[in-house]
A and B are shown apart, each in its own frame.
Chain A
Amino acid sequence: MVTDSTTSKSGVAQSSGQFSTFFVADLFFGVDVLRVQEVLRFQHMTRVPQAPEVIEGLINLRGQIVTAIDMRRRLRLPARAGDHTPMNMVVRTEDGAVSLLVDEIGDVLDVDASTYERPPENLDPAARELIRGVYKLKDRLLLVLDAERTVDLTAGRAA
């Protein structure tokens, strides 16, 4: 579908080649491992009334106040089951640390740059906005999350 030349060109965008992976619904995501500050169990969260609905709340991360963004709502996916508490994946962004609420945390993976491809054109716009590309792993597809765009709520709305 996509030629080799585009693959290698886009592949440059990745820096470490290692991804911290996580699940949101049935999607398998990866964030550059260097971006991930830490992974936490579900924390108590302070609601922010009137805030955009993707903002689940604020958590206290050792004295630092971190905004938690619900990835399901960010990707316009159905809400997770009530008994399932999400995990916090705290990523560093230009605006400081932001916690992404994900369903489950996966392994750290080394990926082969040659398996990289741009996201398919027919992806849901909400997801397409946030997915930089896809690594074709043996048994599944690893979606590369654009962390900056994910935390920039104005960008998502423009899509």
Chain B
Amino acid sequence: MQDEDVIREFLVESHESLSRLDQELVELEKHPKDAELLASIFRTIHTIKGTCGFLAFSTLERITHQAEGLLSQLRDGRRELSPSLVSLILDTVDATRKVLASIEACGEEGPDGFEDLTDRLRAAARSTSGVQDQPDPALTPVSTAEHLEGNGVPEHAEDKQREGEAAKSSAVADANIRVGVGLLDKLMDLVGELVLTRNQILQFNTEREDAALNVTSQRLNLITTELQEGVMKTRMQPIGMVWNKLPRVVRDMAVSLGKQIRLEMDGTETELDRTIIEAIKDPLVHLVRNSCDHGVEPPEARVRAGKAPQGRLTLRAYHEGGQVNIEIGDDGAGIDVARVKQKAVEKGLLRPEQAEKLTDREALNLVFQPGFSTAKTVTNVSGRGVGLDVVKSNIEKIGGVVDVFSRPGEGTTVKLKIPLTLAIIPGLVISSGGERFVIPQVSLLELIRLEGDSGEKHIELVHGTPVYRRRGSLLPIAYLNQVLGLASAERAEAVNMVVLQAEDRQFGLVVDGINDTQEIVVKPLGKQMKGLSVYAGATIMGDGRVALILDVLGIGQSSGVLAESREQARAGSEQKTQSGIEQQRLLLFRAGSFERLAVPLSLVARLEEFPQSSIERAGGSQVVQYRNRILPLIPLRGVLEPGVSDHDQTADPAQVIVFNDGDRSVGLVVDQILDVAEETVTVRQKTARQGLLGSAVVGKHVADFLDLNYVIKVAASDWFQSTAGPANGKRVLVAEASAFSRGLIRSGLDMAGYHVLEAANLDEAIRSLEQHPVDIVVTALDLPPSGSSALLAAMRRRTEWHEIPILALANSAEQARAQAGQTAGFQDCQAKFDEEALLESVARLASTLAPCEAVPACA
């Protein structure tokens, strides 16, 4: 079936080429020196030869191969053109035609091997000095005639037969017309204009009550739609066009690699725009080669792994939500994540500590990095100087997305999501700040209208970040007016929200009004606006005015709801460590209206349950007898939401998080312990709310970080103040850029009884040092603007600061170890979030200080 298609195309193409060849050869006789003409003839023959070889038409290949040899001599000037030579080539053309006719009629080349012709071609090619050879080729036409006569067809009759063949062959050629892509594009543009005009007419129609106009415009509407579909179809091709050559590719690969691979294809008829087909052709072949080479194992290995010796390669294509998904899957060994990481480190793409932090998914996507190849040996099969990075960039160029999924031992699937980036797309027209905008329907999930007074109430704030509870899960929200800096509308009676999808995330976009859906023609914006990621283009509306098309991903990112998009998370782990993304273990719990609170697990001593009956009230505060001591309890709800009475809702038994400090403990009563999460935490923002340090996304949900320091101060100030360890009362300056990190470090130090000063950068740190006596300095290695060494240098210059011990904070334990090895002038180096080690280290430094230096006044 697929072969037939290919052959059909070959026939159409070859017939055209041959007609052109006839003309060109005649022309060449007149202008034998025309190099360009010669080159064109050579190319045509070469193309036919190539295709024949591909389709395994050996006779044709042989004939054209000989002719090509002859032509190349002509082209290179090793031989001069003579009429007899032209005849010979024309004979070749005729013979080719004959074979093609036979192929068209019965699918085979026919019995005639044209040995005679090939012999003559070969003989002519061998006698290199063309001019003297003239008598020789002059003889050959006769022999052609004889040969043909031998076939019982006189040369004269041959001409007639040729006409007959031409008539027959046109049966194929006539059913198809080759049209220049330029013309199709032009037609597409014109249809675009027509669609716009249609939209305008339709608008007039609604404004005017004219029956005749109504009827006419309805017809115009129908015809335009059909025309648009038709023209669009002219540019559509089934993906099978590209896939057809893959069975051969797979077969050849399998043979040369000694593997057994079965190719399964699903969705061959899925249609894609021509330009997209072109663009994905090479990436697809590459991915298939890659799967054959690196994915499917050799038969022995497969049998050993308990699989069938024959590997399976599946190609799947299907439409989904206005996009075409193409999956290339194998049932091979899968990608070894550890090897990928190791390789990335070896190749210098990542540092070891960065590699360790990567999730499996991120690690898998490393294979798309430039300069990456997991193959142990570079085979000539897939190693063709094109890496998967090129595949990725080619797919992304047409607005597609590449993703790779792999299970060790079960196989790897590469998924391409290709948009139908056609010039005309359906879009939703919305209005905001008095302007109209269009949102591509592809990104649209649903529309939500929140009516009445309660409308605003449905949108809740998590530290200023608006969210909406949509069927049980939280949807981050952005306001289009804010994103674009438009004037906010008067308080409307209802909130209109469009739920959008960008990559694999969703968010709600609040707009002033939702108008209707329309077919729109996407037009690019001028280069002056290239930098604006929030727009995907512009279009002309029914009233003739221009409206901007929103870029959903751009809107999401610029509003912050998609702040850490997958793309960013994947790219450059280098920046990651610097931009406040930190890996740590967190205890998640719930208290009052705070659904998700978090504290670093390193601060937690243990989790306990106490029956309510065991809780005693003493002096206005709650205590419980715990391990022969009195454990003060802090009801967290009461601290965070002081107004709300909490007695009636307290769980029994009470859930308590116990924090230790030396030999003292305090218990925090919460509603429910949720989870322990190991997370790469991106701190979203610092909050103004007391008792909370900020919020971050933990396990796909927003969690609030509890400010333990504050909570304990407020609720158990006596406990806090009475703490008096040997290291207490010392002033510690914490110099760290991230307010969040500072807060965490501070809370640990505060609890241990230190007096903490904070500084966000070098200047602040110096100022602090100048204003207060400081006993210990804790500084981040990456302290802005130029690192901690600047602070070190500044402190070493001043005699009064000379003796102050400095503890450096690294982003990770690895970095800490690396730094600790160096005598960089710091007394110690610890990982930023290893609370325990940090406190230990500070305590150690504090104990080395002369006791008289302790400043008791600061308690």
Q: Is the beta-carbon distance between A49 and B525 smaller than 8 angstroms?
A: no
Question: What's the least CB distance linking A53 to chain B, in Å?
Answer: 11
- Given the complex of chains A and B, what is the CA–CA distance between A47 and B546 in angstroms? 9
- Given the complex of chains A and B, what is the CA–CA distance between A111 and B598 in angstroms? 76
A151 / chain B contacts, CB cutoff of 8 Å: 526-528
Q: Which of A2-10, A16-24, A58-66 forms part of the interface with chain B?
A: A58-66
B397 / chain A contacts, CB cutoff of 8 Å: none
B846 adjacent to chain A (CB < 8 Å): no
- Given the complex of chains A and B, what is the CA–CA distance between A95 and B486 in angstroms? 28
Q: Is the beta-carbon distance between A51 and B545 smaller than 8 angstroms?
A: no
Q: Is the beta-carbon distance between B526 and A95 smaller than 8 angstroms?
A: yes
Question: What's the least CB distance linking A91 to chain B, in Å?
Answer: 12
- Given the complex of chains A and B, what is the CA–CA distance between A95 and B546 in angstroms? 19
A152 / chain B contacts, CB cutoff of 8 Å: 527-528
> Using a CB-CB cutoff of 8 Å, which residues 43-62 of chain A contact chain B?
44-52, 54-55, 57-60
Question: Known interface pairs A50-B485, A60-B540, A63-B193. Does A44 touch B528 (Cβ–Cβ under 8 Å)?
Answer: no
B523 adjacent to chain A (CB < 8 Å): yes
B525 / chain A contacts, CB cutoff of 8 Å: 48, 58, 65, 67
Q: Is the beta-carbon distance between B527 and A95 smaller than 8 angstroms?
A: yes
Q: Is the beta-carbon distance between B523 and A65 smaller than 8 angstroms?
A: yes
Question: Known interface pairs A60-B540, A63-B196. Does A46 touch B546 (Cβ–Cβ under 8 Å)?
Answer: yes
Q: Is the beta-carbon distance between A98 and B526 smaller than 8 angstroms?
A: yes
A60 / chain B contacts, CB cutoff of 8 Å: 540, 544-546
B484 adjacent to chain A (CB < 8 Å): yes
**Residue on A with the closest CB to B189?**
A63
- Given the complex of chains A and B, what is the CA–CA distance between A52 and B525 in angstroms? 13
B433 / chain A contacts, CB cutoff of 8 Å: 49
Question: What's the least CB distance linking B519 to chain A, in Å?
Answer: 15
Q: Which of B531-539, B625-633, B714-722, B754-762 forms part of the interface with chain A?
A: B531-539
Q: Is the beta-carbon distance between A55 and B435 smaller than 8 angstroms?
A: no
- Given the complex of chains A and B, what is the CA–CA distance between A81 and B553 in angstroms? 39
B540 / chain A contacts, CB cutoff of 8 Å: 60, 63, 65
Question: Known interface pairs A49-B484, A49-B486, A60-B540. Does A65 touch B528 (Cβ–Cβ under 8 Å)?
Answer: no
Question: What's the least CB distance linking B489 to chain A, in Å?
Answer: 14
A96 adjacent to chain B (CB < 8 Å): yes
B523 / chain A contacts, CB cutoff of 8 Å: 64-65
B546 / chain A contacts, CB cutoff of 8 Å: 45-46, 57-60, 65
Question: Known interface pairs A46-B435, A49-B435. Does A96 touch B528 (Cβ–Cβ under 8 Å)?
Answer: no
B547 adjacent to chain A (CB < 8 Å): yes
Question: What's the least CB distance linking B171 to chain A, in Å?
Answer: 41
- Given the complex of chains A and B, what is the CA–CA distance between A58 and B547 in angstroms? 8
- Given the complex of chains A and B, what is the CA–CA distance between A69 and B529 in angstroms? 11
A98 / chain B contacts, CB cutoff of 8 Å: 526, 528
* From B192, B196, B539, B548, contact of A48 by CB (8 A): B548
Q: Is the beta-carbon distance between A51 and B486 smaller than 8 angstroms?
A: no
- Given the complex of chains A and B, what is the CA–CA distance between A49 and B529 in angstroms? 11
A49 / chain B contacts, CB cutoff of 8 Å: 433, 435, 484-486
Question: What's the least CB distance linking B554 to chain A, in Å?
Answer: 10
Chain B positions within 8 Å of A, measured between CB atoms, are: 192-193, 196, 433, 435, 484-486, 523, 525-529, 532, 534-535, 538-540, 544-548
Question: In the complex, given contacts A46-B546, A48-B525, A49-B484, what are 10 additional A-B residue pairs having Cβ atoms less than 8 angstroms apart?
Answer: A44-B545, A46-B545, A46-B548, A49-B486, A50-B532, A57-B546, A65-B538, A67-B528, A98-B528, A153-B528
The 18 listed contacts between A and B (C-beta, < 8 Å) are A45-B546, A46-B435, A46-B548, A48-B532, A50-B484, A50-B485, A50-B532, A50-B534, A51-B529, A58-B546, A60-B545, A63-B192, A64-B523, A65-B523, A65-B539, A66-B526, A96-B526, A152-B528
